[in-house]
Structure 1
Amino acid sequence: MNRLYKKLHKLLLLITGSIALWPSVIAVSFLLLSFFISYFERTHVGVYLEQNFLSSLNSEPENARSILTTIVSGTISLMVFSFSMVMIVLSQASSNLTPRVIPGLISDKMNQLVLGVNIGTILYTLILILSFKQGEDNASVPMIGILLAMLFAVCCVVLFVYFIHSISRAIQPNTILTRIYETTKAALEEEAQKTQENEELKKQRDPESWYAIHSTEGGYLRVIELESLNKLAQQEDLIFEITVSIGKFIVPGFPFVQANRDLQDQEELREEVQNCFIFSLEEVPVVDFENGLRQISEVAVKALSPGINDPGTALSAIDFLTLLFIKRMQSITHNGLLDENRKLRVIKRPTPLETLLYRFFTPIRTYGKADVMVVRKLLLSLRHMLHADKQRHEYTQGLYRQVRVIRDDAHESITNPEDRN
């Protein structure tokens, strides 16, 4: 992957991650439709339709202009009211939950559809109004275009009702947690599909020596082009091991990839490896398993803060974390990419479960160690994981270590004898 492709990929990620993408596409479509309708009204087919099917309608120019003006003003009012509510919802989500959930709310496709249809209806109607000329006769009134404008206005009202319903549900903590859970679970499944079962990795020995490749860029790691890295490894007969994960902040000079051969003197090859990793200076939210765990953990911590004081949301967040951790335990460890000859080329080891537990349970444990219900829920969560691991016993020791850590905190913070029991 060359440097130009990397820049284009960054631009594509910026465009597709913007809330303005689909509203712009829909608005431009409405604008083009308005020009097409203005042309279609003058064709023989348009004239025939108006004379034979729309002749009974009132086609006075002033009445038509009044209808279009009412549609424009009403649609603008709906749009202003709708997205004033969006700003209120985003403010509440940021203060009551965590700012990390905001991108998921504004990127909702239905919200973008509502915005796009509203803007498109306004543009479409304004073009029709501009098509009127002074002193025109009734025959020149674009009746087909006016009927379509009325239809679009009805659609805007229907979408407004739907928007009120959806935005009232979107701010509920359980709805947000469910959305994050579904997205995180899908990300884990997608990651498993991109790699192959690690049986080949078990058969092969690790190289005797690994040689670090240092990053020449800094920022948050957003995308790893695994396929490009796999092809590069096959061309150069190399094995790469990725030592960083998506979303991690990296500084220039940090070793982020290891190779089984020293590439110190091969600057072009090291640059090609670097081009397989896309960084962003902003902490761009990515669809990633660990990022989803982080969001749910932060929602739980925010709910336990004295300003919010919503332990019920924290308990629900722990339940969702439990489901995701069990899903992670039960999934096959996919950490090898093979070439066409079934030879190992790229190693991408997943973060160990014990590390994930410590990373995302520790904030909840720290803020809720004096709350007996939170401590009990954490212990029940680990009990469920132990039950899920009763056949393989692969994670049992790490889970028991987490139990002891939670017990030690509770021993110091909970003094009531009944609670301690």
Structure 2
Amino acid sequence: MNKLYKRFSQIYLSVTSSIALWPSVIALGFLLLGFFTLYFERTFSAVYLEKNFLFPLNSEPENARLVLNTIASGTISLMVFSFSMVMIVLSQATSNLTPRVIPGLISDKMNQLVLGVYIGTILYTLIIILSFKPGEDNNSVPMLGILVAVVLSIICIGLFVFFIHSISRAIKPDTILTRIYTQTKDALQKEVQKTKENEVLKNQKEPLHWIELPSKEGGYLRQIELEALNKIAKREDLMIEVPIQIGKFVVPGLPFLRLNKDLQGNDTLRDEIQDCFIFSLEEVVASNFENGLRQISEVAVKALSPGINDPGTALSAIDFLTLLFLQRMQSITANCLLDEHQQLRIIKRPTPLNELLYRFLTPIRTYGTADVMVVRKLLMCLQHLFYADKEARQHTAIFIKQVNVIRDDADQNIKNPEDRHEINLVLAGIQENISSPETCIKLLP
């Protein structure tokens, strides 16, 4: 049953993340509307409406066909033009930003709504056209159906104008960075709420010796069934530590979990635990905290490349990274799940802050090491983090290490005395936020 459920979950995730889902649903709805309209035309209510309200309309069969043909061909032209623009926008986003922002642009619900209405209007109009029969008289022309088709064509024109406006804004780097930041912040809040920190995690002793469990599958981790994993842990009296995050790549045969008991020889239980983790060979495009950090970091690196040469976007990206690091600092402790007896069962550890800083600031530092504004902005990022950690002083050593690395690169690559003076001003400001007198950050000579 677990295998079947896991397979169903994989199919469900693939379907729900596809760009074709909502357009297909909307188009199916319009198709059903077309058949319902033909049925309704034969009812007494439809005849009454046509005689008393729709009589001023021209009911000649040839004119009706001309109107429907015009609507169908015009909507097809709008659809082709609109999504030719989408392809151009995606090409520009790949060249100027990063290919990782493409799933966010494709999965935009408004773009899917526009595509669905276009396809639905075409299908609806074709159904109405097929209802015409040779040698029919004026009374058999579906006037109500034609009126609905005209209204749908007007809606398509309105959506086309809105689509042009939205797609022109969607390609702006500031808009993309804001969207990624918002999604990443929401993903972090959901992660914290899903497995809230509990006092039990602080008071209960963890096992002295964890036993690592190798993975039988490989690929990108797409989903963790935490509730099912919690039930297994309760039933088998296990304590399970989950160190990996959504989106991480797992290699078969390497450890991906840690348990308080050795499951060697119990293949059934190991398979049951493995089934709680859904993997995919395609890179995960779902919104999660680390994926958002990676996208913003890659946008900054792309902006610093000689072909793009857009340092302003890189500076904005560093600002967004600063905000996200500040929020991660507030929830960097491990989270847990308990059973109904308040016994600790699942420990879910986030990626350490030092690893996040290294993974997502190092590429920017490497590509912008000779740009004084980028170096200064990176130091200001760490200065803000220092200030936020001034009272608790939990991450001071991590920040000092990053500051020294950036300072050393600046010492080697930035030679202008005025630029070095500006960097020293930021380094002096960082030193003021360090409470420990024995810790001293050296200025550039």
TM-score of the pair, normalised by structure 2? 0.93
Matched, 1:410 2:410: yes
> What corresponds to 1:121 in structure 2?
121
The answer as to whether partners of 1:192 and 1:334 remain within 8 angstroms in 2 is no
> What corresponds to 2:323 in structure 1?
323
The answer as to whether partners of 2:334 and 2:347 remain within 8 angstroms in 1 is no
> What corresponds to 1:131 in structure 2?
131
> What corresponds to 2:343 in structure 1?
343
Structure 2 residues without counterparts, runs of 5 or longer = 422-445
The answer as to whether partners of 2:372 and 2:419 remain within 8 angstroms in 1 is yes
Secondary structure of the structure 2 residue equivalent to 1:197: coil
Corresponding letter in the other structure for 1:348 = K
- Tell me how far apart the structure 1 counterparts of residues 132 and 61 of structure 2 sit (CA, whole Å): 8
Corresponding letter in the other structure for 1:398 = I
- Tell me how far apart the structure 2 counterparts of residues 358 and 252 of structure 1 sit (CA, whole Å): 26
Deviation for aligned residue 1:40: 0.5
- Tell me how far apart the structure 1 counterparts of residues 16 and 266 of structure 2 sit (CA, whole Å): 35
1:149-172 Cα offsets, whole Å, 9 max, x none, are: 000000000000000000000000
1:361-410 Cα offsets, whole Å, 9 max, x none, are: 00000000100000000000111111111121111121111111100111
Matched, 1:104 2:104: yes
Deviation for aligned residue 1:224: 1.2
- Tell me how far apart the structure 1 counterparts of residues 158 and 399 of structure 2 sit (CA, whole Å): 51
> What corresponds to 2:279 in structure 1?
279
Secondary structure of the structure 2 residue equivalent to 1:139: helix
Secondary structure of the structure 2 residue equivalent to 1:212: strand
The answer as to whether partners of 2:332 and 2:352 remain within 8 angstroms in 1 is no
> What corresponds to 1:23 in structure 2?
23
Structure 1 residues without counterparts, runs of 5 or longer = none
Alignment: residue pair count: 421
- Tell me how far apart the structure 2 counterparts of residues 76 and 294 of structure 1 sit (CA, whole Å): 38
The answer as to whether partners of 1:379 and 1:403 remain within 8 angstroms in 2 is yes
Secondary structure of the structure 1 residue equivalent to 2:361: helix
The answer as to whether partners of 1:221 and 1:279 remain within 8 angstroms in 2 is yes
1:286-341 Cα offsets, whole Å, 9 max, x none, are: 21101100000000000001111100000000000000000111236351111111
Corresponding letter in the other structure for 1:26 = I
Matched, 1:255 2:255: yes
1:215-237 Cα offsets, whole Å, 9 max, x none, are: 11111111111111111101111
Secondary structure of the structure 2 residue equivalent to 1:196: coil
> What corresponds to 2:66 in structure 1?
66
The answer as to whether partners of 2:300 and 2:317 remain within 8 angstroms in 1 is yes
Which aligned pairs between 1:205-220 and structure 2 lie closer than 5 A?
A: 205-220=205-220
> What corresponds to 1:93 in structure 2?
93
The answer as to whether partners of 2:212 and 2:256 remain within 8 angstroms in 1 is yes
Matched, 1:199 2:199: yes
Deviation for aligned residue 1:198: 3.7
> What corresponds to 2:149 in structure 1?
149
Corresponding letter in the other structure for 1:110 = M
Which aligned pairs between 1:29-48 and structure 2 lie closer than 5 A?
A: 29-48=29-48
- Tell me how far apart the structure 2 counterparts of residues 70 and 321 of structure 1 sit (CA, whole Å): 51
The answer as to whether partners of 2:50 and 2:144 remain within 8 angstroms in 1 is yes
- Tell me how far apart the structure 2 counterparts of residues 89 and 302 of structure 1 sit (CA, whole Å): 16
Deviation for aligned residue 1:204: 1.2
The answer as to whether partners of 1:184 and 1:289 remain within 8 angstroms in 2 is yes
Corresponding letter in the other structure for 2:84 = S
Which aligned pairs between 1:323-402 and structure 2 lie closer than 5 A?
A: 323-331=323-331, 333-402=333-402
Q: Give the percent of matched residue pairs that are identical in Structure 1 and Structure 2.
A: 71
TM-score of the pair, normalised by structure 1? 0.99
The root-mean-square deviation of aligned C-alpha atoms, in Å, is: 1.0
> What corresponds to 1:55 in structure 2?
55
> What corresponds to 2:305 in structure 1?
305
- Tell me how far apart the structure 2 counterparts of residues 199 and 244 of structure 1 sit (CA, whole Å): 22
> What corresponds to 1:268 in structure 2?
268
- Tell me how far apart the structure 1 counterparts of residues 163 and 15 of structure 2 sit (CA, whole Å): 24
Kindly report structure 1 stretches of 4+ aligned residues shifted beyond 4 Å.
none
1:56-79 Cα offsets, whole Å, 9 max, x none, are: 211111111100000001100100
Deviation for aligned residue 1:120: 0.2
